[in-house]
Structure 1
């Protein structure tokens, strides 16, 4: 089943075009890597897919609903309930413990503290970082912090996770560990992933690859 479709996306920032007719489709439970050099438009494409940016032209449809037809409030609600996010530097709240960070999306959705933290504990254990639950992000390693960020993205059981360079700030060993646990968790839950990366070793984890260059996208054919 096709979950998310973008067609003929155009987006410019002032006189500078970022997307020039880019497109992408992703099925339920599918992992798609978006590759390309710095400045190619791949992060802009991800932000349009997630409803963070509105394209100047073209459409993004999620479960047959045109995101462009939704109000800002409705798109924000969609990002809270249906989408999850993992960024290069985690973007955890430094004043909160790791447990509180993972529980935060559930608390914002109205869940009671005890229930939210119970689910957060399960999420941290699944990513093998239960031991940092009481620590603040600044007290953890980069790899641990990124696994906490993944646990937070997964805690609401989203349909799609948007991951923008999730291992970009990590060494190869920690990056490998994060990707193994991350994709093991999403495959177990049936969550789709849109994965932006410039690293072929990270893109190799995906089911398909799409290359963005000069604002245009094309599917990559894999050998075999």
Structure 2
């Protein structure tokens, strides 16, 4: 059997005396959408942050393409995230001083892509997601749904191998949430990216190939295949 694209094994992490992860395990393959579900405070976002190399577990290993992320330096993990990973958060977290186009182009610019090329690729994704008309606007002047689509474009513009989506529909109404999830799952499958989705909503998890459930604040995982 081939090794998963990304996997976490026996992950433990505590915040002071409070355990957040206790032996968590998760794997995901290229082109797969996996939903991590559980109540608020169950450790969903903590697990995502460990798998993305944002936070190191106290023990256990996280492997990406065969490399143990816990053995890398902070700079090496930061470079890996910039080159290989995309992120979508609940409230978009667009930079308010930049235009929508500049926000979407930001990962490419940070990676050294020239402005003209980066913004051309950003415009292509904005057009793909149906919000080309707000490319020159600032985040404060667009709707929440448009902002979340812009955040999705930013996550996908660098053609990442893994997209981490933390409650990406939490700030949207049901219609907007369905639209964003449809776009995310379609775009990920078109590009072959793996999507790790954190949510507490069953209607959002329904877009995933598998569910991983964090129960009662523990990190005992139950996988549900669709």
What range describes the TM-score normalised by the shorter chain of this pair?
over 0.9
Which piece of structure 1 moves more, 194-203 or 105-114?
105-114
TM-score, length-scaled by structure 1: 0.97
1: distance between equivalents of 2:42 and 2:192?
A: 29
CA displacement at 1:220 relative to structure 2: 3.2
Task: Please give the secondary structure, in 2, of the residue aligned with 1:20.
Answer: strand
1: distance between equivalents of 2:225 and 2:209?
A: 10
Stretches of structure 2 that go unaligned for 5 or more consecutive residues are none
1:32-47, aligned counterparts within 5 Å? 32-47=34-49
Residues 1:217 and 2:215 aligned together = no
Query: Which residue in the other structure is 1:58 paired with?
Result: 60
1:5-16, aligned counterparts within 5 Å? 5-16=7-18
Task: Please give the secondary structure, in 2, of the residue aligned with 1:123.
Answer: helix
Stretches of structure 1 that go unaligned for 5 or more consecutive residues are none
How far does the alpha carbon of each residue in 1:105-140 deviate from its partner, in whole angstroms, 9 at most, with x for none? 111111111101100000111111111101001111
CA displacement at 1:158 relative to structure 2: 0.4
**Contact 1:99–1:133 (CA under 8 A) maintained in structure 2:** yes
Query: Which residue in the other structure is 2:96 paired with?
Result: 94
Query: Which residue in the other structure is 1:83 paired with?
Result: 85
1: distance between equivalents of 2:222 and 2:208?
A: 13
1:1-224, aligned counterparts within 5 Å? 2-213=4-215, 214-222=217-225
**Contact 1:99–1:120 (CA under 8 A) maintained in structure 2:** yes
1: distance between equivalents of 2:16 and 2:181?
A: 36
* Aligned residue pair count: 223
Which piece of structure 1 moves more, 213-222 or 82-91?
213-222
How far does the alpha carbon of each residue in 1:16-43 deviate from its partner, in whole angstroms, 9 at most, with x for none? 1100111100011110000000010111
TM-score, length-scaled by structure 2: 0.96
2: distance between equivalents of 1:90 and 1:184?
A: 19
